Amino acid sequence: MKKIVIAIDGYSSCGKSTLAKQLAKELGYVYIDTGAMYRAVAYYADSCGYFDSNSLAVTELIKDLPKILISFRYNSSLEKSETILNGQNIEQHIRSIKISNYVSKIAQIKEVRLKLIELQRAMGKEKGIVMDGRDIGSVVFPDAELKLFMTASPEIRAQRRYDELVAKGEKVTFEEVFSNIILRDNDDTTRSENPLIKASDAVVIDNSELTQVEQFEITLKMALSKINEK
């Protein structure tokens, strides 16, 4: 059976990673969380004190890029991959609202994007991967066999994200999460470096009214169709 690249793009808190993990598990593919890679760089910058009142010491961060090593380690007990930065497991740290507020600023830096795109392309060289992010189908893998573009209303996305953070014990308000969603949407779609856009051949998945099961069944059928194409 041939292997393909599945590229999933879309707005924040649309469940891209959830769907990507489901498809990867079902197909026996490798899942690559590109959003976690940008979060890892944001965490590194924050740890170094490069953020000050939401401004960023870009020059210093760019100088440090050769020292930033990002990988993923599978946690068999949790049945998921975790993000490793320079040998340290930072999975829990990078999911906070603080890092969420920083990550779009990181993604606007050309040098950061070039470094991570290079890493992402290397990871997908042998195909058999599911990768999600903001520019996977449009920039990283423009020749991906299946491209999905996920969206949902800002209110629904904010509620999903709020519920997720509260379940993890984060002390946040819905208003804070909603503001973060709007901020990230604006940053993602207006940045000069590889803004969030739908690839011309991507299939739009609006999951505002879809369950996770319904979404998975729809997209799995698409993936199998591409895999079985002659």
Within a 10 A sphere around the Cβ of 151, how many other Cβ atoms? 16
> How far is the C-alpha of 75 from the C-alpha of 89, rounded, in Å?
11
Whole-angstrom CA distances from 166 to 92, 96, 98, 159, 162 are 14, 11, 14, 10, 6
Domains of the chain: 5-227 (3.40.50.300)
Give the orientation angle of helix 174-190 with respect to helix 97-107, to 10 degrees: 10
| Structure-token pair, residue 140 | 């990283």
**pLDDT tens, per residue, the chain with 230 residues:** 799 999 999 998 999 989 999 999 899 898 888 889 999 999 999 999 999 876 899 999 999 999 999 988 878 787 778 899 999 999 999 988 899 889 988 988 999 999 999 989 988 888 999 999 888 999 999 999 999 999 999 999 999 999 989 998 988 999 999 999 999 899 888 888 778 899 999 999 999 999 999 999 999 999 999 999 97
| Structure-token pair, residue 209 | 């009214």
How much is the pLDDT for 81? 80
pLDDT in tens, 211-229: 999 999 999 999 999 999 9
| Structure-token pair, residue 74 | 């599978």
How much is the pLDDT for 131? 94
| Structure-token pair, residue 181 | 């969603």
> How far is the C-alpha of 136 from the C-alpha of 7, rounded, in Å?
6
Q: What share of the chain is helix, strand, coil (3-state, %, to 5)?
A: 50, 20, 30
> How far is the C-alpha of 37 from the C-alpha of 120, rounded, in Å?
9
Strand partners, 73: 82
Q: Residue 147 in contact with residue 157, Cβ under 8 Å?
A: no
Give the DSSP letter of residue 138.
I
